[in-house]
Amino acid sequence: MRIEPKQPTVKGPGNLFTGDVWFDVIAAPQPAPSRMRVNTVRFSPGARTAWHSHAVGQTLHVTEGIGLVQALGGEVMVMLPGDTVYTPPGEWHWHGAGPESFMTHLAMWEAPAEGPEAEWGDHVTDEEYDARP
């Protein structure tokens, strides 16, 4: 057993996010066989990820605020505190804060045994974001 010291909060890079996003790594790569990853992610109003998919899927659990999430080809859905969203392996999606609220969620995923954990695509356009309910 060991205690991992808290790592500094990191600003989300502009090539992966629109707006101001900050994250804290909770569970980083550990010795095999563990492949678990967990981040606390904080989105400012209107901030969001780019389109992306995860090789082994992703689970989001909203802890604060109002969020939005969309799978490619699906409707934009509202996420509220306590909601948990699962995206299966390879499903292209985005998630972020509503236009007038900060949003914080836990992002949980596994790394694949080989290859990249996620594939990133284009930024979500304002038109896509504004298609919210």
Chunked into runs of 10 residues, the chain (133 residues) has average pLDDT values of 90 98 90 88 98 98 98 97 98 98 97 93 96 76
Considering the entire predicted model, what is its pTM? 0.93
Torsion angle, alpha carbons of 93, 19, 8, 35, to 10: 10
**Res 2: pLDDT:** 83
**Res 29: pLDDT:** 74
In the chain, the domains with their CATH numbers are: 10-129 (2.60.120.10)
Long-range contacts of range 26-31, CB-CB < 8 Å, 24 or more positions apart? Answer: 26/106, 28/4, 29/111
**Res 32: pLDDT:** 75
